[in-house]
């Protein structure tokens, strides 16, 4: 739909953190007759409502009404809402077109797009690519998607010479086939079981992740994929010998990338190697993340030394292995963005020295067995919170480790403080989502930092 003026559009899901704000503002600017509907009450949406204050839009809060989905010209669905929603089904049954904020953006974006997905690491890789493209010749770099604010309101300022870097969740990619879109450069960090409560099966989750490459054009587009056995097998099955594919990895501590090609000739465009990379962010996994960012920067024409210098200045993202302070010789590290077991395992490996862990949260259906075993091996104490806390504590104890069930994050911080010694690290890396106890991972990490710095237990 190109002409929005006068069209009736239902925006499903304003969100507590503004997920529907950007698309609502953009549609109102296009002259659409917008109805925003959200099951949360107005008091829970205060900041989002303030962001659309003054716009000529209708509101239905605290409930959805099927009539809003049947008697309209289009529905814009929040990515987190599954197809099985009765209101989505009502729109489909009535023949009402369904779209998303990200689909509206990519359909109209004049710039080249880099899309980044993965079960672990996609936010950091997206931010690293944005940093590495600081020296991009001839255009501006925009970063958005699942990371940061909507870029829809910025469409008028984006030029064909620019590059847009989008973090793309499995929820967002689930519906990109509606517009048959994949980015010019697609990055996949890994694919491990996640959000199975939403997707239903791991196969469905993988299929949605692979939408990021499904509509790429051979000879024009590129995929930059972590060189893991599982992803190698999946891509070999899907695409065979694809010369538009770069696999990235570490050779020792050195980031490397190699193009899959039938050519026997080795040159800079086939074998890439970045010696001397210095990073401010810890962990081997971040050197692998840098390999992906450097491969993208190379494909877009950024000089090697400029990209290396930009990544050396990269300080990481909030709530991702961020040192929040030290108290009594004990270091506190916030990795609240760790919402999968694999992310928690990566964080544990990135921390050297004696360790105390805070684990647990909302149950997404992930297998926590490997995380429990590693916690038993590495941590003097694991303080376990949330819905998965009891099962995690039992599994850690069964594996020979020390674990304690805690009712609140404050209780967990207090338990770790009692057990900690000078030189230890207390790491919040839950391996689970936060929705059972907090609005999101940011709120969880912010509370952890406050508790750590204030030196107190239960909030």
Q: What is the secondary structure of 64-88 as a DSSP string?
A: --THHHHSSSEEEE-TTS-TT-HHH
pLDDT interval class at 267 (50, 70, 90): very low
Contact yes or no for 37/62 (Cβ under 8 A): no
Residue 111 has pLDDT above 50, yes or no: yes
Least confident range of 83-92, 152-161, 225-234: 225-234
Least confident range of 75-79, 123-127, 243-247, 421-425: 243-247
Contact yes or no for 189/129 (Cβ under 8 A): no
Residues of the chain with CATH 3.40.50.720: 8-99
64, 122, 199, 364: the catalytic one is 122
146, 190, 211, 289: the catalytic one is 146
| Long-range contacts formed by 137-146: CB under 8 A, 24+ apart | 137/301, 137/302, 139/111, 139/163, 141/165, 142/111, 145/102, 145/115, 145/116, 145/172, 146/122, 146/172
Residues of the chain with CATH 3.40.1190.10: 103-312
Instruction: Give the length of the chain.
Output: 459
184, 195, 209, 285: the catalytic one is 195
What is the Cα–Cα distance from 246 to 225, expressed in whole angstroms? 6
The CATH number, out of the four listed (3.40.50.2000, 3.40.50.720, 3.30.479.30, 1.10.10.10), of the domain defined by the range 8-99: 3.40.50.720
Give me the phi and psi of 102, to 5 degrees please. -70, -35
Residue 33 has pLDDT above 80, yes or no: yes
What is the Cα–Cα distance from 227 to 390, expressed in whole angstroms? 36
Active site residue 146: yes
pLDDT interval class at 456 (50, 70, 90): low
Residue 242 has pLDDT above 80, yes or no: no
Beta bridge partners of 334: 322, 428
Taking alpha carbons only, the member of 66, 115, 72 closest to residue 97 is 72
> What is the CB-side half-sphere exposure of residue 331 using CA atoms within 13 A?
13
Kindly state the DSSP code that residue 362 receives in the 8-state scheme: B
Least confident range of 20-29, 191-200, 261-270, 400-409: 261-270
The mean pLDDT value of the chain amounts to 92
Residue 262 has pLDDT above 60, yes or no: no
Q: Which CATH class is domain 322-454?
A: alpha beta
Contact yes or no for 338/347 (Cβ under 8 A): yes
- Cα 50 to Cα 9, 158, 212, 387, 443, distances in angstroms: 20, 26, 34, 33, 20
Which residue in this structure is represented by tokens 């499903």?
12
Contact yes or no for 357/348 (Cβ under 8 A): yes
pLDDT at 454: 86
Averaged pLDDT, 331-350? 94
In this structure, what token pair is assigned to residue 164? 């847009």
Residue 219 has pLDDT above 90, yes or no: no
Taking alpha carbons only, the member of 207, 197, 33, 210 closest to residue 115 is 210
Residue 265 has pLDDT above 50, yes or no: no
Active site residue 122: yes
Count of helix runs (H) and strand runs (E) in the chain: 18, 19
pLDDT interval class at 261 (50, 70, 90): low
pLDDT at 234: 84
Residue 370 has pLDDT above 80, yes or no: yes
Residue 354 has pLDDT above 60, yes or no: yes
pLDDT interval class at 240 (50, 70, 90): low
**What is the helix (H) or strand (E) element at residue 166, kind and residue range?**
strand 163-167
The CA-based angle 307-309-311, given to 5 degrees, is 70
Residue 266 has pLDDT above 50, yes or no: no
- Residue with the bigger pLDDT between 289 and 135: it is 289
pLDDT at 444: 97
Averaged pLDDT, 385-406? 98
The answer regarding whether domain 103-312 maps to CATH 1.10.287.90 reads no
What is the Cα–Cα distance from 99 to 11, expressed in whole angstroms? 10
Provide, rounded to the nearest whole percent, the portion of the chain with pLDDT above 70. Answer: 96
In this structure, what token pair is assigned to residue 163? 């590059």
pLDDT interval class at 459 (50, 70, 90): very low
What is the Cα–Cα distance from 333 to 430, expressed in whole angstroms? 12
pLDDT at 269: 60
What is the Cα–Cα distance from 169 to 199, expressed in whole angstroms? 12
Residues of the chain with CATH 3.90.190.20: 322-454
pLDDT at 455: 73
Provide, rounded to the nearest whole percent, the portion of the chain with pLDDT above 90. Answer: 82
Q: What is the pLDDT of residues 279-318, one digit of tens each?
A: 989 889 999 999 999 999 999 999 999 999 999 999 989 9
Beta bridge partners of 236: none
Q: Is 104 exposed, middle or buried (0-12, 13-18, 19+ CB in 10 A)?
A: buried
Averaged pLDDT, 146-150? 87
Cα 205 to chain centroid, rounded: 14
Give me the phi and psi of 38, to 5 degrees please. -150, 140
pLDDT at 139: 87
Q: What is the pLDDT of residues 176-216, one digit of tens each?
A: 999 999 999 999 999 988 888 899 999 999 999 999 999 99
In this structure, what token pair is assigned to residue 222? 């590129």
Q: Which residues contact 247 (CB under 8 A, 6 or more apart)?
A: 225, 226, 227, 232, 257, 258, 260
**Burial code of 354-371, b = ≥16 C-beta within 10 A, e = fewer?**
ebbbbbbbbbbebebeeb
């Amino acid at each position: 739909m190109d002409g929005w003026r006068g069209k009736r559009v239902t925006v499903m899901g304003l969100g507590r953190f503004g997920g529907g704000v950007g698309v609502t503002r953009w549609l109102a600017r296009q002259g659409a007759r917008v109805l925003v509907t959200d099951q949360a009450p107005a008091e829970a949406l205060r900041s989002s409502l303030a962001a659309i204050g003054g716009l000529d839009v209708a509101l239905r809060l605290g409930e959805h009404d099927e009539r809003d989905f049947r008697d309209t010209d289009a529905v814009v669905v929040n990515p987190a809402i599954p197809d099985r929603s009765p209101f989505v089904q009502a729109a489909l049954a009535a023949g009402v077109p369904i779209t998303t904020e990200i689909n509206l953006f990519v359909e109209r974006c004049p710039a080249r797009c880099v899309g980044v997905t993965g079960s672990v690491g996609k936010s950091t890789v997206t931010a690293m690519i944005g940093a590495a493209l600081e020296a991009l010749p001839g255009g501006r770099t925009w970063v958005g998607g699942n990371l940061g604010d909507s870029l829809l309101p910025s469409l008028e300022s984006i030029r064909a010479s620019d590059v847009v870097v989008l973090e793309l969740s499995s929820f967002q990619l689930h519906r990109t086939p509606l517009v048959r879109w994949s980015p010019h450069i697609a990055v996949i960090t890994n694919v491990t079981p996640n959000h199975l409560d939403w997707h239903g099966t791991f196969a469905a989750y993988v299929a949605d992740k692979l939408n990021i490459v499904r509509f790429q054009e051979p000879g024009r587009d590129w995929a930059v994929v972590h060189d893991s056995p599982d992803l190698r097998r999946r891509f070999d099955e899907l695409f065979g010998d694809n010369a538009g594919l770069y696999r990235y990895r570490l050779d020792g501590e050195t980031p490397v990338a190699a193009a899959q090609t039938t050519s026997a000739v080795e040159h800079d465009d086939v074998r890439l190697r970045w010696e001397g990379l210095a990073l401010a962010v810890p962990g081997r996994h971040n050197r692998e993340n840098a390999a992906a960012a450097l491969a993208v920067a190379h494909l877009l024409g950024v000089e090697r030394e400029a990209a290396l210098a930009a990544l050396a200045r990269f300080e990481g993202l909030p709530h991702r292995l961020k040192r929040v302070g030290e108290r009594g010789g004990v270091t506190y590290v916030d990795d609240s963005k760790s919402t999968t077991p694999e992310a928690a395992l990566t964080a544990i490996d990135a921390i050297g020295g004696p360790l105390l862990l805070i684990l647990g949260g909302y149950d997404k259906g992930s297998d926590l067995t490997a995380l429990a075993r590693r916690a038993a091996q590495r941590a003097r104490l694991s303080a376990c919170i949330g819905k998965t806390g009891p099962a995690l504590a039992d599994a850690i104890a069964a594996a020979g480790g020390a674990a304690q069930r805690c009712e609140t994050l404050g209780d967990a911080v207090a338990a770790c403080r009692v057990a900690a010694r000078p030189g230890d690290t207390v790491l919040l890396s839950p391996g689970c989502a936060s929705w059972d106890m907090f609005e999101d991972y940011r709120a969880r990490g912010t509370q952890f930092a406050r508790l750590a710095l204030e030196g107190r237990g239960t909030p």
